[in-house]
Structure 1
Amino acid sequence: MRPELLAPAGSPEALRAAAEGGAGAVYLGWGAFNARRGAQNFSQEEFAQAVAWCHVRGVRVFLTLNILLSDRELPEALETARTASRLGVDAVLVQDWGLFDLLRRTLPDLPLHASTQMSVFTSGGACEIAADGCERVVLARECSKEETAAICKNCPAQVEAFVHGALCMCYSGQCAMSALIGGRSGNRGRCAQPCRLPYGVNGAAKNQRPLSLKDSCLADHLGEMAEMGVACLKIEGRMKSPGYVSAVTNVYARLLEEGRRPTAQEREVLERAFSRSGFTDAYWGGTKGPEMLGFRPENAEAAPAVEAPRREEGRVPVRFTCRVEAGKPCLLTAEDPEGRAVTVSGPLPEAARNRALTPEDLAARLSKTGGTPYRCARADAYADPGLSLSAAAVNALRREALEALSAARSQPPKRREHFPLPPLPEQDCSQEEPRFTVSVLTAAQLTGGVLDLRPARVYLPLELLANVPSLPETEAEYCAILPRVWRDRDEDLLRRWLDKARTLGASGLLLGNLGHFPLARDGGWRLYGDYGLNVFNSRSLDYLRKKGLESACLSFELRFSQIRDMKKLLPAEAIVYGRLPLMITENCLIQNSAGCRCDRPNFLNDRTGAAFPLLPAFGHRTEVQNSRPLYLADRPYWRQLGLCYARLRFTTESPEDCARLCRAYQEGAPAAGEFTRGLYQRGVE
């Protein structure tokens, strides 16, 4: 079955370019809650018109509500989805767990798609969100051909994959670089794209772009994607011009219709529309490396704002059936491919004075549908002999029938609504003062000085637990941190490591991805949520509580006041010390820039002189840390927010520094050296 082609519509003009260029569906933003808040987007009136206009033309419309939402924003976001549903939107893309849960409960017939911001890259993660009621899963851009095929095979939900457009260096939904450096959150639709700026690695010249990837182009792989069962091919670009949307959509529509690869001329069209030093298909091929890097000069010409050419094959095929009988009003029925049929009547035919109307004449007149979204696929005409009907009457009949058919095609479906909002549970897990937890990166950091803090929990990477002979005795609960990024093929190894962790005395697991749930569930572990789950509101806590978590770490993009006002339906944790993670990347930034030297300190250097530590992550990936650690020991307000746990996150600190910092938090000592207060007070856009 041919996959659906999904094109971006950042404006009404881009929407028209996408639809007339051959897209089977478009995705667009309306309101304040979408991941491209810098695009022109749509007003409510424009959105209503867009849905009707697209549905007449057989184009589906998906609304993007794919950002993290605060408690105060959830009701408005839900009302946006409710209005969109009433207008007939075909699906809503969601990132936030709380909104997802609310939509499933209040608008059960509205199809939901898991945004790529949910960071789904395993079969387990895809099946988990499908079991919760998601119709389609948008996979991480980093998934290879083999990984995508496995998810298509294993997941009952539809699978959507990006085929063209910009690549972020960080996994979508896991990037905090824009937020922590400039206060503009990618998780809130305000990414400032710091990855496109110049940097150096390990003191090298700071005019390189080690975080800027070429745009993806999978035009050569559409056939294999269709064969493996990818349901939808997505073009990125809601910030792009209508000219870009027109050019790219036209090429991909032709390739899908004709079942072939692009010609040299079509490749040139794609590259002229927009590229960063060319294109890459490395992730799809299961490779990575510095050849994926690319950037676009500031003086590069933008794609011309051209009018999308009208594509005859993109018009809706209609079957006409017309009867012209003596003494009866003429009747015309128009039927679309989905079986919708409308019938309209016209004037009584007159007796022919000269040439009588023939069925062939009538069929020829009906087939003239130029200037409409329709084309005549078949015209069955019946005319009694000796009758006459003017061309104007036939034209009016055809026009009235197509208008009635358009009204039928744009009629919103009837969907159930369960309002008012379901109440949150009454339970309150808040505490007067939080207990400390500690996460370490190395065994050497776990000193007596750290354990003297009497932490409630000690978090250690699962990879570390797999390679240490024993752990110090402590009253703290040992918990394994599951890798933030992995693949289906890694899960047997991870299960063996979990068995080893249990023998060392670990009893808890820290989950940072939806795919961790099926990996960890039913193993007798106590399950806790990590920051990678992006918990931003009370409803998200409720959703994760129902999935079996016993506590959850809140997003460090929240303000203190938002944490304070959040209903603690689970014991809540916040990071109060440490270098906060800015990115996790499929590419090893160290390998790309300096060769394999992951066994020693490595840094990303920006133009201001800031040095961001680069830490190796599971699977030869890289986690970029903030240049300055978060320090709040002398700002005790975090103790008064109802948190159950306050985490000290040790990464690059020496064992002596870890012990010193634990004492500092016990004593409320003032900060020394360079540090940051994070986003807890200033918040993010």
Structure 2
Amino acid sequence: MSAPTPTEAPPPHPVLTRPEILSPAGDWDCVRAAVENGADAVYFGLERFNARMRAKNFTVADLPKLMEFLHRRGVRGYVTFNVLVFADELSAAEDYLRAIIASGVDAAIVQDIGICRLIRAISPDFPIHTSTQMTVTSAAGVEFARDLGANLVVLARENSLKDITAIREAQQSAAGPLPLEVFVHGALCVAYSGQCLTSESLGGRSANRGECAQACRMPYELVSDGAPVDLGDRRYLLSPQDLSGLEVLPELIRAGVASLKIEGRLKSPEYVANITRVYRRALDTAMAEFASGQLSSVAPAPTARGEAAPAPFDPQSARYDLEMGFSRGLYTGWFRGINNQELAHARFGTKRGVFLGTVTRVGRDHVALTLVAPLKPGDGLVFDAGRPDEKEEGGRVYQVETRGGETVLRFGQGDLDFSRIQPGQLLWKTNDPELDRRVRQSYEGDQIRFRRPLHLEVHGHAGAPLTLIARTEEGHVARMDTTSTLVVAQKQPLSTERLRDQLGRLGGTPFVLGELDNQLEGDVIVAVSELNDVRRRLITAVDTLRAAPQRWTMNPATLGPVAASLLATDAAVPGPVAPAPDAPPELIVVIRHLHQLEAAWATGARTIYCEFEDPKKYREAVTRFRELRGNDPAASLWVIPPRVFKPGEEWILRQVLSSEADGYLVRNYDHLPWFAAHRRRGDFSLNVANPLTAGHFINHHGLERVTASYDLNVAQLEALLQGAPAAWFDITLHQHMPMFHMEHCVFCAFLSTGTDYRNCGRPCDRHDVRLRDRVGAEHPLKADAGCRNTVYNSRAQTGAEFADRLLALGARSFRIEFLNESADELQRTVSRYRQLLRGELSGGELWREFKLINQLGVTRGQLESAPPLMRRKP
């Protein structure tokens, strides 16, 4: 397109929607901290069914008061219901949801597909925001959420700006694109949210149930081809830097993001206030720059709130505040794409703060360095010796003395052991009391500090009352008339300036005067006391409107439990043909190497699932399998696509589809349409934890079966089999549980100097790599076609002891999974499970045998463990 000629008007700037600032709130202090520093919405958990069970959390009884407070301040409140819900909890979940909806909250943030269905059956209009735990990474995922009745989708943290734009543009609904929310600041999970089974695998503490043990923040050794790799002081291989989207805020606005989410429901109110304030100012500045068309220059924040213009936004000062709030290092995460050299520096997994410099010398009672950041007496410091898992020296500095280019620091007597401090150690500022005081002053007490625009219209003429109409940003409208009429002004009529001066006196209210539209006819006047009176009455009316709770439509509970009605409807839909009660169980063998195929067939396995790192090998597997099966119609080979799909990865699915396998395992939302013309079964990554979720995939999407979630213990699995036809489910009896599933490529980051697959040299193709944890266990690491890494538990897990109970409930399809096992190991293991399912061997005998012969050890796994949330009293 040619440039406009001087006589042409420049093209208009695109209309950009201001995204909301969404802040975390673990308690009342955090709520006030968020509100007084400019949050447009807050999200909080209740005492059950939320993914931050260690937070203080609110209760259902708190909701009416909490929502009234938020709405009076023009702030929305979202409840987190972002965990998997088990079959025996659906009734309690329904009661809980009714209380939440009745309280007038603005939305629920939901992970569980069955709970989305339950909400929509309870209320046709209550807003659902799908959680990042739902692992939505593509437009197909957004459409899946829309089909569930979602009103907003929280994307995975791993989506880049390019991905976000593509997802928004690819939505095809006539209703327009669903609003998208992204995390803009805070801790980065190294694994895809909703796909991390590490805490469950290692200790029965499910991240999908709010009990993440943060194993990603622990040190690991890298073992390649059996030998440790010397990485110096880099041992926190799975601990990413913290996310900070401040640098890419304009790009996020351009991409059409509707909500900017700040992570931190476990953080302090000082953190919430600090981070919210920075992003509020940054967003106001960016929107002002967009409005002026001069994003290249720094513009002051807009003054529409009727207050004096604040100082221009200073990115350097803002970064200091963010680092002091909480920082393991700040990074743009995946917004700018993948850079495996930068995502995880691997030196520490805990808070550091602002880097001050490197120690140059150590005296008897002081240290010296060249400062690279401001420091003053009273600030808190820590000396970084590269061993953050050990006790570190630190404390408050008492004296800061500059001598030429060197700064000498002195401390309180006995505060430090100077013998443990050496030249070359790094120094970090971990606390700034002055900043803390300033932050606390922003929200403590009852004073209203952050105020929102109130737009006014003034109407009237001589002989009629002055009519004042108010409109809030949330859409509330109120009208008030003066008690006396307007008269013709002999002098000083009510000009716009006089009206603005008088009506703008809104101190002590949550408002400032925004736009003022003066529609008075002629030169008229009314007593100042009348203006003050009508202003006060109007503010009271607006406040009353704001305080009223949201009224959502709710189907009456007198019609019976909605969950039970949905379950009955699902069960009535013709689904998979149930095997006869005396039918022999099916043993499904899952292999991950081509050489395991013939070994599996030799054991008598006639249903085989293949998950290979290179999908090009699926063709070879299908060809060989067809040679093996001959004319056996009952034998089938199923292939497994990569667990995550992102825009631009269609080539991988085309490769998988070209194998012409007998069937395909669905692992994410894109697989549903891609393999719609073929036999499909659902894998564990769909997080099927209750019959409502299972019914959605079986009846609505036509899957033959789904794999029960790995978050279920045996009691919860039994409840699932009792609540839905057992023919719907594959049950995994033996596996090396996949723990971390990550966009972060450990191969690239620590065995190459490359940033991603284009320049890493693909060490994943040449090396057997394991991560050795603090107890010496070596967990295998695998890469898939999308270069995503999976860390598998070193110890195989078996549910053999529970097989009889599951068989008695009608379960007939059991998965036995293998990782790197030899043909002999595979055949021995499958043979023993065949004996188990035929009743020739007890589960206890099999457990004891495997424990003895397996050098790495075999654990009973998650079926034995009761996730902590189940042990809590409601």
Report % sequence identity.
31
Partner of 1:68: 84
- 2:648 partner SS: helix
Distance, in Å, in 2 between the alignment partners of 1:151 and 1:265 is 34
Distance, in Å, in 2 between the alignment partners of 1:458 and 1:384 is 83
Count of residues paired in the alignment: 673
Partner of 2:139: 123
Residues 207 and 230 of structure 1, relative CA distance in 2, 3 Å threshold? closer
Q: Which residue identity does 1:541 align to in structure 2?
A: A
- 2:282 partner SS: helix
- 1:548 matches 2:702: yes
**Map 1:8-23 → 2, pairs under 5 A:** 8-23=24-39
Distance, in Å, in 2 between the alignment partners of 1:541 and 1:530 is 11
Q: Deviations over 1:402-443 (max 9, x none)?
A: 122112123334432234413413459587563111110011
- 1:149 matches 2:302: no
Q: Which residue identity does 2:748 align to in structure 1?
A: Q
**Map 1:324-363 → 2, pairs under 5 A:** 333-337=469-473, 340-344=476-480, 359=494
Q: Is the 8 A contact 1:246 1:307 kept in 2?
A: no
User: How many Å apart are 1:97 and its aligned residue?
Assistant: 1.0
User: How many Å apart are 1:357 and its aligned residue?
Assistant: 11
Runs of at least 5 residues in structure 2 that lack an aligned partner in the other structure: 1-15, 172-176, 287-294, 299-313, 352-387, 389-393, 395-429, 753-762, 836-840, 869-874
Partner of 1:372: 509
- 1:424 matches 2:593: no
Q: Is the 8 A contact 1:359 1:381 kept in 2?
A: no
Q: Is the 8 A contact 1:442 1:464 kept in 2?
A: no
Q: Is the 8 A contact 1:563 1:641 kept in 2?
A: no
Q: Is the 8 A contact 1:552 1:573 kept in 2?
A: yes
Partner of 2:590: 439
Q: Comparing 376-385 with 36-45, which one deviates more in the overlay?
A: 376-385
**Map 1:252-401 → 2, pairs under 5 A:** 252-259=279-286, 263-276=315-328, 278-294=329-345, 295-297=349-351, 300-301=430-431, 304=436, 306-308=440-442, 314-319=451-456, 321=458, 333-337=469-473, 340-344=476-480, 359=494, 364-377=501-514, 378=516, 391=529, 397-401=534-538
Residues 380 and 602 of structure 1, relative CA distance in 2, 3 Å threshold? same
**Map 1:144-223 → 2, pairs under 5 A:** 144-155=160-171, 156-202=177-223, 203-204=228-229, 208-223=235-250
Q: Is the 8 A contact 2:136 2:155 kept in 1?
A: yes
Q: Which has the larger radius of gyration?
A: 2
Residues 445 and 358 of structure 1, relative CA distance in 2, 3 Å threshold? same
User: How many Å apart are 1:153 and its aligned residue?
Assistant: 0.6
Q: Comparing 40-49 with 574-583, which one deviates more in the overlay?
A: 40-49
- 1:470 partner SS: helix
Residues 451 and 124 of structure 1, relative CA distance in 2, 3 Å threshold? farther
Q: Which of these residues, 429, 450, 470, is aligned with residue 624 of structure 2?
A: 470
- 2:80 partner SS: strand
Q: Which of these residues, 623, 628, 642, is aligned with residue 810 of structure 2?
A: 642
**Map 1:624-639 → 2, pairs under 5 A:** 624-633=791-800, 635-637=802-804, 638-639=806-807
**Map 1:212-251 → 2, pairs under 5 A:** 212-251=239-278
Q: Which residue identity does 1:508 align to in structure 2?
A: G
Q: Which residue identity does 2:638 align to in structure 1?
A: C
Q: TM-score, normalised by structure 1?
A: 0.90
Q: Is the 8 A contact 1:460 1:478 kept in 2?
A: no
- 1:479 matches 2:646: no
Q: TM-score, normalised by structure 2?
A: 0.71
Distance, in Å, in 1 between the alignment partners of 2:748 and 2:859 is 29
Partner of 1:512: 667
User: How many Å apart are 1:383 and its aligned residue?
Assistant: 12
**Map 1:655-670 → 2, pairs under 5 A:** 655-667=823-835, 668=841, 669=846, 670=849
Distance, in Å, in 2 between the alignment partners of 1:507 and 1:438 is 15
User: How many Å apart are 1:330 and its aligned residue?
Assistant: 8.3
Q: Is the 8 A contact 1:70 1:536 kept in 2?
A: yes
User: How many Å apart are 1:515 and its aligned residue?
Assistant: 2.3
- 1:18 partner SS: helix
Residues 242 and 516 of structure 1, relative CA distance in 2, 3 Å threshold? same
Distance, in Å, in 1 between the alignment partners of 2:602 and 2:144 is 36
Distance, in Å, in 1 between the alignment partners of 2:663 and 2:602 is 18
Q: Which of these residues, 524, 528, 543, is aligned with residue 681 of structure 2?
A: 528
Q: Deviations over 1:10-62 (max 9, x none)?
A: 22222222222222222221231111121122223433223222223332222
Q: Is the 8 A contact 1:120 1:515 kept in 2?
A: no
Distance, in Å, in 1 between the alignment partners of 2:522 and 2:779 is 84
- 1:442 partner SS: coil
Residues 221 and 431 of structure 1, relative CA distance in 2, 3 Å threshold? farther
Q: Deviations over 1:552-604 (max 9, x none)?
A: 10012212122222223452111101101101111122332334254332111
Distance, in Å, in 2 between the alignment partners of 1:311 and 1:263 is 26
Q: Comparing 405-414 with 315-324, which one deviates more in the overlay?
A: 315-324
- 1:78 matches 2:78: no
Q: Which of these residues, 543, 563, 581, is aligned with residue 738 of structure 2?
A: 581
Distance, in Å, in 1 between the alignment partners of 2:335 and 2:479 is 50
Q: Which residue identity does 1:376 align to in structure 2?
A: L
Distance, in Å, in 2 between the alignment partners of 1:95 and 1:682 is 22
Distance, in Å, in 1 between the alignment partners of 2:337 and 2:118 is 37
CA RMSD in angstroms comes to 3.2
Q: Which residue identity does 2:648 align to in structure 1?
A: R
Q: Is the 8 A contact 2:44 2:265 kept in 1?
A: yes
Partner of 1:41: 57
